[in-house]
Structures are given as C-alpha cells and as structure tokens.
Amino acid sequence: MPQSNESVTAFDAGTAVRRTPDGGLAAELDPGWDVGGSILNGGYLLAVIGRAAVLDSPHPHPVAVSASYLRATGPGPVTLTVTPGPAGRTLAHASVVLAGDGGASLSAQVTTATLGDDAPVYSRPMPDIPPVEECLSARAGDNLGGHPVPAIGLRERVETRLDPATAGWAMGRPSGEPVMRAWVRLADGREPDPLALLLFADVLPPTSWSVGLMGWAPTVQLQVLVRALPAPGWCLVEASASEIAGGWLDEDYRIWDSTGRLVAQSRQLARAPR
C-alpha cells in the first residue's frame, strides 16, 4: 500500500473502487463491516455500489439506489459492472452489478445527480429525541440490561447511540412497537456524505427486535434516496416497520443531519426472523 493511504479512513478504504487493467472496476470487500460471521452489512455494500456508479457518471452524488440482494456477500475481491443509461444535465442512470466468486450478489439501479444546498420547500421535521449524550452507547458486546449488543464489526465501525425510548429490546423489555431511533456517526471520525448515508440506511438492528423477534432479517431489496448533502456531525436515524407478516418485514428509514434536515430515506423488504 502506498504511504499516502495511511490517512484514508476505514470507510473510504473499505469502499474503494479501482479500475482494473482491462478497463473494469474492482473492489476488495473489508471483513470489518460484518453483521455476524462473514456476512457483510447491506448498507456497506450499497456504498461500494454507489462509489462505482459515480466513478462513471457525469454527476457526483447517488440520489436513488435500489438493489436486490441476490445472495449473502462475504469479504474479498469483487468486480463491479456499470452499464450506463441515459445521462443529462440534471441526472444520469446506470445499472450496477457487484459479483464475487459465487457470481452476482447485488444487482442495482442507480440514479446520480448533483445535490445542492437549496432550502427545502417542505421538509418533514426531525422527531424529538434526547441529545447524543443522553442516549445509550451500543458497542459490540455491551450488555444494556438484557440482550447483549451483538459483537459485529458494523457496530465497531459506526458509533451508535440508541434513543432510550426505543431501546427496550436491549434491556429485555421489547416495546411491542417496531421502531428504533439512534444517533450514528463513523467511528473513524469521517464526516457524513451521500456515500455514508447509503451505509446509514441499513445500520440499525431489525426493528422486529422491538416486537421480540430477535433473529437476523436478511435484506431482499433496498431502496435509498439521498435528499441533501449532510452537515458534519452525528446523523439521526429512525427505522420503523409497517407490517410483519408471512415471513416478511419492511424497514423504513428516515435520516436527519446534525442541523435537523432530512437528508435520506430508505425502504427495504427483508425476511422476518422466525
């Protein structure tokens, strides 16, 4: 590794996409972004997809990314195949496929654009939650009084402070309402940007934990919309489910930056824990 890379953050290093001699794109997926065993976090993978899409776009920001999670993805080398679609002054489209040894594992539609700093005509206000210092630090392995916070890499890489009102599951008292809120930031000090928002769009435990279903909920399809450039500092993430039925779960995220501006939204369909 060249010495200059030593100042690259864990997030930028782990999502780096490089051109290969044959003109393709490749990345080395970092085992540190796991959600258990060797399975990598879906938001982390989406950030790699976003980085590949902007490399080949006239626009710098992913504003809409929809990915199907074809199979669980582990660490190691992957290729990224970007197929450009129509591109104009306002936005550009592309399809991106991320593939490893086992074949394609993510297939995504990406729209890129250039986000500005326009004041919103309308913006849903941020929910009222306690400040960061009054929220519960959820580090891998912490036991907040009930179910220990799983010892996963994601929770080391993203500082996560749970709103006590939605953290009953961590104290053995699930609230019965599938809602979670938390302040998050990258543990390495890197400030948020649209790529980090793709990560944050799948950063919390499944909201089904709040109704007592404590297993993992593998993502089937995830859409993220990035709405504005986030200000430096903590982001507030709110996740909620509208329906848990027939083995399926949705997760709806809204993300606000430190100034209280809505900066991203996401929705995923996942398999519900049994």
x/- mask, a second copy, residues 151-180, rule CB under 8 A, reads: ---------------------------x--
Site for a second copy in 87-106 (CB under 8 A): 90-91, 93, 95, 104
Q: How far is the CB of 48 from a second copy (least distance, A)?
A: 17
| Residue nearer to a second copy on the CB measure, 52 or 154 | 52
What are the two backbone dihedrals, phi and then psi, of residue 206, each rounded to the nearest 5 degrees?
Answer: -55, 135
Instruction: Say whether residue 81 binds a second copy (CB under 8 A).
Output: no
| Residue nearer to a second copy on the CB measure, 156 or 177 | 177
Q: How far is the CB of 245 from a second copy (least distance, A)?
A: 4
3-class SS string, 167-188: CHHHHCCCCCCCEEEEEEEECC
Distance CA 244, CA 242 (A): 7
Instruction: Say whether residue 85 binds a second copy (CB under 8 A).
Output: yes
Instruction: Say whether residue 215 binds a second copy (CB under 8 A).
Output: no
What are the structure tokens assigned to 99, written together? 């593939």
Distance CA 6, CA 14 (A): 13
Q: Indicate the burial class of 161 (C-beta count within 10 angstroms; 0-12, 13-18, 19 or more).
A: buried
Instruction: Say whether residue 123 binds a second copy (CB under 8 A).
Output: yes
Q: Are 90 and 64 in contact (CB under 8 A)?
A: no
Question: Closest by alpha carbon to 226, among 186, 273, 269, 193?
Answer: 193
| Residue nearer to a second copy on the CB measure, 111 or 258 | 111
Binds a second copy by CB under 8 A, chosen from 68, 81, 137, 175: 68
Distance CA 57, CA 35 (A): 30
| Residue nearer to a second copy on the CB measure, 40 or 136 | 40
Question: Closest by alpha carbon to 53, among 23, 89, 98?
Answer: 98
Binds a second copy by CB under 8 A, chosen from 16, 64, 99, 231: 64
Q: Are strands 158-162 and 136-137 parallel, antiparallel or unpaired?
A: antiparallel
Q: How far is CA 210 from CA 33, 100, 225, 273, in A?
A: 24, 34, 25, 12
- Helix, strand, or coil here: 126? coil
Instruction: Say whether residue 182 binds a second copy (CB under 8 A).
Output: no
| Number of residues lying near a second copy (CB under 8 A) | 54
Binds a second copy by CB under 8 A, chosen from 48, 52, 158, 211: 211
| Residue nearer to a second copy on the CB measure, 88 or 233 | 88
What are the structure tokens assigned to 225, written together? 């919309």
Applying CB under 8 A, which part among 129-137, 145-153, 182-190, 213-221 lies near a second copy?
213-221
Note the residues at the interface with a second copy (CB under 8 A). Answer: 63-64, 66-68, 70-71, 85-86, 90-91, 93, 95, 104, 107-111, 115-116, 118-124, 178, 211, 213, 220-221, 223, 225, 227-228, 241-248, 250, 252, 254, 262, 265, 267, 269, 271-272
